[in-house]
Amino acid sequence: MNSLLYGLITWAIEDQKIPFIDCWFMGATCVFTCELQTYDFGSFSQASQIILLLFTLVSGRTVSTIPAIFIKIFQAKRKSNTAEDISSTRMDDNNILPVQSLARQTSVDPVLRKRLQSLPDPYHLRITAYIILIVLIVSTCLFIYLFTFFSVGFWFKYNYILQHYSQINKTVNPFYASLVVKITSFNQNGLTSW
């Protein structure tokens, strides 16, 4: 459905000059990051190229995992809300860490027992882990995207001639070329605008 929607959006932006089947195929290429092309990516208008790059970015393996993590957080919260009460289920054997269960079964130093009982329950650990995972994914992607965007952009700007970035007889800004290379290579798409 996403590839069909993206094809329709691109087809509308191109004012139906490019056949719908090619717009749909390019949308599918961006959704599935498979680098197959039936139409030259550089022949699309810059607005369509940006939309297709956004589709590639959103459909990429790293960014597309974030909604699944939000769903897991929602399911974990819903599951805890359908249970009686977090405080009443906290002492249930299914809702404590194994080390806490072991501390209950054996006689342990009272200070150590108190510290073990102060550990968070698996529910809170799970939610915290999901949130940390989202932060790590977003920060890693931002770092990689920004670092490579600027690195490649400056490399293009100072090491290549502008005519190397021609697209439909117009030169492309080296940083736009860097953006295309960055998004499509990181998501293993392989689309190029020149």
CA dihedral 168, 177, 58, 144 (to 10 degrees): 170
Question: Is 163's pLDDT higher than 80?
Answer: no
pLDDT tens track for 68-105: 888 888 888 777 666 544 444 444 555 666 665 665 55
Residue 175 Cα distances to 35, 124, 154, 162, 165, angstroms: 21, 43, 8, 11, 11
CA dihedral 53, 192, 181, 159 (to 10 degrees): -140
Question: Is 34's pLDDT higher than 70?
Answer: yes
At residue 41, the pLDDT reads: 82
Query: What is the C-alpha separation between 160 and 163, in angstroms, rounded?
Result: 8
Question: Is 51's pLDDT higher than 80?
Answer: yes
Confidence bin at 168 (pLDDT 50/70/90): low
pLDDT tens track for 7-28: 899 999 998 888 999 889 888 8
Percent of the chain residues past pLDDT 70, beyond the cut: 80
At residue 151, the pLDDT reads: 94
Name beta bridge partners: 166.
171
Which tokens is 106 given? Answer: 């054996």
pTM assigned to the model: 0.65
Question: Is 121's pLDDT higher than 80?
Answer: no
